[in-house]
A and B are shown apart, each in its own frame.
Chain A
Amino acid sequence: MPIGNPDHPDSTQSADFFSLRLFIAGASPVSARAVVNIRAICEEFIAGRYELDIIDAHQQPLLVQQEDVTAIPMLIKKSPVPIKKLIGDCSDRAKVLKGLGISY
């Protein structure tokens, strides 16, 4: 379920377009928190230039293996490079921004 600006072209090449993937585990409280937190951050800092895939790990175990997911929730920044993995419910806003490489 891609979230973000639907008008924006799929420009993964673009240096400032964020392609994010969030692995959650069902409707656990920590997963729900993570979804809320990351959405808020994205809307606040990179509104309109991101896509966020939210994946339920239970539904896609193969993808979990491919992406080498261990801890959940895990946010994977596919682009811009470098690929970065953020684990946790994204409640530490400073760390999330640092991890995503967003200056504020």
Chain B
Amino acid sequence: MAKSKNQLERRSTGTIPKTLTGISGLDEITLGGLPSGRPTLVCGEAGSGKTLFSIEFIVKGAMDYGEPGVFMAFEEKAEELKANVASLGFDLEQLEKDKKIRLDYVHIDRSEIEETGEYDLEGLFIRLGYAIDSIGAKRVALDTIENLFAGLNNTAVLRAEIRRLFQFLKSKGVTAVITGERGGNGLTRQGLEEYVSDCVILLDHRIINQISTRRLRVVKYRGSVHGTNEYPFLIDDEGISVLPVTSLELNHEVSTKSLPSGIAALDKMLGNSGFYKGSSILVSGTAGTGKTSIAATFANAACLRGEKCLFFAFEESPKQIIRNMRSIGLDLQKHLKEGTLEFYASRPTLYGLEMHLVAIHKAIRKSKPSVVILDPITNLITIGSVSDVKTMLVRLIDFLQAEQITVMFTALTLNNIVNEQTDEGVSSLVDAWLLIRDIESNGERNRGMYIMKSRGMKHSNQIREFVITDKGLDLVDVYLTEDGVLTGSAREARMLMAQTGEVIHAQAVSRKDRELERKRKILESKIESLRSEYESAEEELNKVYVEEALKKQIMGETINKIADLRRGDESGKEKNVNKKNK
């Protein structure tokens, strides 16, 4: 209770104190719930969920917020009501025993009643007052008070009394929900909206293309900001869930972390890392191009990392997907057993678009995955127009981004016209768009994949051939030649040719090498002979020099001797010379 009060205080934006209803989604739309201590009118046509709304308000209050409540039924008997809500897991019997709620059935049958004069509804006030006081109720629901008009004739008195009743509820300080049948010119048959001026919620049940969608709108909420749109809501085994607001601001957190796609080559194309966490990825292509395989590979990669993955299948049953993916080497069954993978398969035509959204929402809220797959979104178009689908996806993407969940859609492109519509409808929303295209040539159909866009990433602009093998998916380089793009067997042939060419080339190279070697050897031997030739010439030259020098020396000596012999006066010198000569 303390927690809920804190939440309440945190959520209420203005001066008006609010009471959380506990109805999932509604508290977001109303920014904190219904006005505390005031009556709220919930109106709608027959079967729009008014009674469920009011009983859920009471039960959730009693169970989750520690606020006892009084439910006064004018339509259904207490036993009927108990039986009806038992399917939602509400045990009214027990709650009543625990003095958390009090049910009171007011029955007025015109045939049993005679009006004999002046009267008022004091009896009702006394009952209500007693019920409130006996359990200290904080919440009251009156369903449907307009039934009084069917049982009593004097409408003037009734109106005055109903006005008094609302005053009475306010003075009791209870938060009240009053339901009213839609009809006449106003919101309710008897114009109850005149009396309840604080908060009016309209429930609607519309059928478009034979598919019904429930919607809720806050018509008025005095003194508070509130979402004004029509919000789809779902009634299922857990009661009402309203799809919360599409957040009006684009201010969600972004992550720079990336998630591998499960295809290594694709990650490389995406700037070596994969997709950003919390981004939205569209995979589109014609029939049989392997969209589901890409999605399953992505899911498989997430599961292998131990992250939780939710797979929404709108085309195939989970078993079918598991079997088919086994053929490309993905064991999804294992992940299913470990609980990392969850399937939600439903036919698109099961319910309306908005209901799908609510269902998807609920499933995501419940299992809190990190990766979500929608396969394929194209099938949703069978139940809504392109613009409807776009609106729905905007809201879904918005929600997923706020929750930091990565989502991958697959989209089938039937022909060019639809292709452009669908893709353009969604392409502006998604962060990354992979396109798989059939490349038809040489009597073959092959798959080419390219990245149309990938926000905030240095992605490859290349067209790659996308191959599906029994070991998984892979991308191979597409051969670009003067004849155009080569894929499939033409590519294989070209690769073979290139390989052959390489061998021949290598052969040629080695032959040339050998020739070069031979030439080198010849030249070397030539150089050798030239060198020896040079050496002999040098030797010859040296011999001449030596002889010349010897000659010179001998000549010199001879001249000296002759001079000595001629003059003998210089004794010293002569002795020396003599000695030398001796």
Spell out A's residues near B (CB within 8 Å).
Answer: 23, 25, 28, 30, 33-34, 37, 57-58, 61-62, 64-65, 68-75, 82-92, 95-96, 98-99
Minimum CB–CB distance from A76 to chain B (whole Å) comes to 10
Q: Are B120 and A61 in contact (CB under 8 A)?
A: no
Q: Are B119 and A30 in contact (CB under 8 A)?
A: yes
Q: Are A72 and B130 in contact (CB under 8 A)?
A: no
Q: Which of B105, B116, B124, B130 contacts A92 (CB 8 A)?
A: B116
Q: Are A87 and B127 in contact (CB under 8 A)?
A: no
Q: Are B123 and A85 in contact (CB under 8 A)?
A: no
Interface flag for B264 (CB, 8 Å) = no
Q: Are A68 and B107 in contact (CB under 8 A)?
A: yes
Interface flag for B108 (CB, 8 Å) = yes
User: CA separation between A64 and B125, bound complex, in Å?
Assistant: 10
Q: Are B112 and A89 in contact (CB under 8 A)?
A: no
Could you list 25 examples of A-B contacts with CB < 8 Å? A25-B126, A30-B118, A33-B117, A37-B117, A61-B127, A61-B129, A64-B126, A65-B127, A65-B130, A69-B127, A71-B119, A72-B119, A73-B119, A75-B116, A85-B112, A85-B114, A86-B116, A87-B152, A88-B116, A88-B117, A92-B116, A95-B114, A95-B116, A95-B117, A99-B114
Minimum CB–CB distance from A87 to chain B (whole Å) comes to 5
- In addition to A69-B123, A95-B115, 12 A-B residue pairs with Cβ atoms within 8 Å of each other are A25-B120, A34-B117, A64-B127, A68-B105, A71-B152, A85-B112, A86-B115, A87-B114, A88-B115, A88-B117, A89-B118, A96-B116
Number of B residues with CB within 8 Å of any CB on chain A: 25
Q: Which of B104, B114, B116, B120 contacts A72 (CB 8 A)?
A: B120
Interface flag for B424 (CB, 8 Å) = no
Minimum CB–CB distance from B333 to chain A (whole Å) comes to 59
Q: Which of A61, A75, A89 contacts B126 (CB 8 A)?
A: A61
Interface flag for B113 (CB, 8 Å) = yes
Q: Are B117 and A89 in contact (CB under 8 A)?
A: yes
Could you tell me the dominant secondary structure of chain A's interface residues?
mixed
User: CA separation between A19 and B288, bound complex, in Å?
Assistant: 83
Which residues from chain A contact B116 at a C-beta distance below 8 Å? 75, 86-92, 95-96, 99
Which residues from chain B contact A87 at a C-beta distance below 8 Å? 113-116, 119, 152
Could you tell me the dominant secondary structure of chain B's interface residues?
mixed
Which residues from chain B contact A61 at a C-beta distance below 8 Å? 126-127, 129-130
Minimum CB–CB distance from A26 to chain B (whole Å) comes to 9
User: CA separation between A34 and B126, bound complex, in Å?
Assistant: 19
Which residues from chain B contact A72 at a C-beta distance below 8 Å? 119-123, 126
User: CA separation between A33 and B119, bound complex, in Å?
Assistant: 11
Minimum CB–CB distance from A64 to chain B (whole Å) comes to 5
Residue of A nearest to B102 (CB): A65
User: Which of B113, B116, B117, B152 gathers the greatest number of chain A CB atoms within 10 Å?
Assistant: B116
Spell out B's residues near A (CB within 8 Å).
Answer: 104-108, 112-124, 126-127, 129-131, 148, 152
User: Which of A58, A70, A83, A90 gathers the greatest number of chain B CB atoms within 10 Å?
Assistant: A70
Q: Are A89 and B114 in contact (CB under 8 A)?
A: no
Q: Are B118 and A70 in contact (CB under 8 A)?
A: no
Q: Are B113 and A30 in contact (CB under 8 A)?
A: no
Which residues from chain A contact B126 at a C-beta distance below 8 Å? 25, 57-58, 61, 64, 69, 72
User: CA separation between A96 and B400, bound complex, in Å?
Assistant: 68
User: CA separation between A88 and B116, bound complex, in Å?
Assistant: 5
User: CA separation between A91 and B106, bound complex, in Å?
Assistant: 25
Q: Which of B108, B115, B129, B131 contacts A70 (CB 8 A)?
A: B108
Which residues from chain A contact B129 at a C-beta distance below 8 Å? 61
Q: Are A30 and B120 in contact (CB under 8 A)?
A: yes
User: CA separation between A63 and B42, bound complex, in Å?
Assistant: 30
Q: Are A70 and B148 in contact (CB under 8 A)?
A: yes
Minimum CB–CB distance from A23 to chain B (whole Å) comes to 6
User: Which of A65, A82, A83, A91 gathers the greatest number of chain B CB atoms within 10 Å?
Assistant: A65
Minimum CB–CB distance from A31 to chain B (whole Å) comes to 9
User: Which of A71, A92, A98 gathers the greatest number of chain B CB atoms within 10 Å?
Assistant: A71
User: CA separation between A68 and B120, bound complex, in Å?
Assistant: 15
Minimum CB–CB distance from A100 to chain B (whole Å) comes to 9
Which residues from chain B contact A58 at a C-beta distance below 8 Å? 126
User: CA separation between A61 and B122, bound complex, in Å?
Assistant: 11
Minimum CB–CB distance from B367 to chain A (whole Å) comes to 45
User: CA separation between A95 and B131, bound complex, in Å?
Assistant: 33
Q: Are B120 and A86 in contact (CB under 8 A)?
A: no
Which residues from chain A contact B114 at a C-beta distance below 8 Å? 84-87, 95-96, 98-99
Which residues from chain B contact A98 at a C-beta distance below 8 Å? 114
Which residues from chain B contact A95 at a C-beta distance below 8 Å? 114-117
Residue of A nearest to B106 (CB): A70
User: CA separation between A95 and B121, bound complex, in Å?
Assistant: 20
Which residues from chain A contact B152 at a C-beta distance below 8 Å? 71, 87
User: CA separation between A37 and B126, bound complex, in Å?
Assistant: 23
Residue of B nearest to A73 (CB): B119
Q: Are A70 and B117 in contact (CB under 8 A)?
A: no
Residue of A nearest to B116 (CB): A88
Q: Which of A70, A75, A83 contacts B124 (CB 8 A)?
A: A70
Minimum CB–CB distance from B72 to chain A (whole Å) comes to 10
> Which 5 A/B pairs are nearest by Cβ-Cβ distance?
A61-B130, A88-B117, A99-B114, A91-B117, A69-B123
Q: Are A89 and B119 in contact (CB under 8 A)?
A: yes
Minimum CB–CB distance from A35 to chain B (whole Å) comes to 13
User: CA separation between A104 and B106, bound complex, in Å?
Assistant: 33
